[in-house]
Structure 1
Amino acid sequence: MKTMIVYQSMHGCTEKCAAKLQAVLPGGADVVNLKETKKADPQQYDAVIIGGSIHAGRIQGGIKRFCAAHRETLLEKKLGLFLCCMEEEQAQKQFDENFPEPLRKHAKAQGIFGGEFDFERMNFIARTIVKKVSGMTESVSKISEEAIRKFVEDLK
């Protein structure tokens, strides 16, 4: 099965999760960062995995545009959707609000992989805002390896 992982990452968490998925998927996958390319074409793939992260309640615009531009093609593919976010109690609501309903209903796998605050990768303004809002003073990672494994099982 030829698989494509499409993602967009602001501070690296979604990028890490995409790499973890690529490593455990049978047969691997082509990984496309929408921050680096706008020409991601899912047509030639059997399965497509789409992932993004939440910042101020919203997923990256590149992910929204990709989903809108390729909606009909995605509804013909084996589809997986994942989200990285630190707000565990709000995660499902954010997932539902940020991925279109037809894609959510069609997706064979849905995952909320947790998130991380990597202060080393944030600029001063982002670091200040995250520290103030979250109360965190050090980088922290809450990526769930178990959620990633379950996602891969569900996608099979």
Structure 2
Amino acid sequence: MTNVLVAFATKGGTTQSIAERLGARLTEAGHAVAVVSVQDDPDPAAYEAVLIGSGVQAGSVYAPAGHWLTVHRRGLDHKPVGVFAVCLGMVAGDSARLEESSRYPGQLAEVLPGEPVATTVFAGSYDPRTRAWWERLAARLIRSPRGDFRDWAAVDAWGDDLAGRL
């Protein structure tokens, strides 16, 4: 059994729901798991392994995720770390957007003291009711799709794969 932290940065709750699902899969596999927002500043030094996830907006992962990694970089040294991003670019259907989306975990991974054990990108969801007016305007301008595009089978598969690697 490994003591695992699943840390996340979210705005509308989508990344949190994916982090919670990953935490549940790891718990089912016998790991002790804490799922905590980076806003609550969990200390990764208290864990044997860490997953960090962030939503994406305007081509960047959320700043609080990068800040948390920067502050706690030393606490991640010599630990297995997995990185995931959540974005709507995964549902765009065109190869350029898919390629761009595949690079988002790298924005977090570049802050790590070593290479992550795994990275991935999950499709997210967009509900304008959970966003500020300016975020809704930006989403309209770039024609963000509305709806829930989370692929729970993909989340479960990644969680199961990590369970055996942590």
Give the TM-score of the pair, scaled to structure 2: 0.81
Distance in 2 between the 1:61 and 1:15 partners?
16
Partner of 1:103: 112
Identity %: 23
Structure 2 SS opposite 1:52: strand
Q: Which residue of 2 aligns with 1:122?
A: 131
- The alignment partner of 1:107 has SS state of coil
Query: 8 Å contact 1:112–1:147 — kept in the other structure?
Result: no
Distance in 2 between the 1:112 and 1:11 partners? 17
- Give the structure with the higher percent strand: 2
- CA separation of 1:52 and 1:102: change in aligned 2, threshold 3 A: closer
Q: Tell me which of 120, 135, 146 is aligned to 2:153.
A: 146
Pick from 34, 44, 49: which aligns with 2:38?
Answer: 34
Cα offset, 1:72, TM superposition: 3.0
What RMSD in Å do the two structures reach over aligned CA positions?
2.0
Question: 1:153–1:54: structure 2 CA closer, same or farther, 3 Å change rule?
Answer: same
Q: Which runs of 5+ in 2 are unaligned?
A: 91-97
Shift of 1:104: 9.1
In the TM superposition, residue 95 of structure 1 has moved relative to its aligned partner by 2.5
Aligned equivalents of 1:149, 1:81: Cα separation in 2: 15
* Alignment check: 8 A CA contact 1:111 1:147 kept: no
Code of the aligned partner of 2:148? S
Aligned partner of 1:85 in structure 2 is 87
Please report how far the alpha carbon of residue 74 of structure 1 lies from its aligned counterpart in structure 2 after TM superposition.
Answer: 1.4
- How far apart are the structure 2 equivalents of 1:104 and 1:51? 17
> What is the CA-CA distance between 1:9 and the residue it aligns to?
0.3
Q: CA deviation at 1:15?
A: 0.9
Q: What is the number of equivalent residue pairs in this alignment? A: 151
| Conservation of the 8 A alpha-carbon contact between 2:88 and 2:124 | yes
Say whether the 8 Å CA contact 1:108–1:154 is kept in structure 2.
no
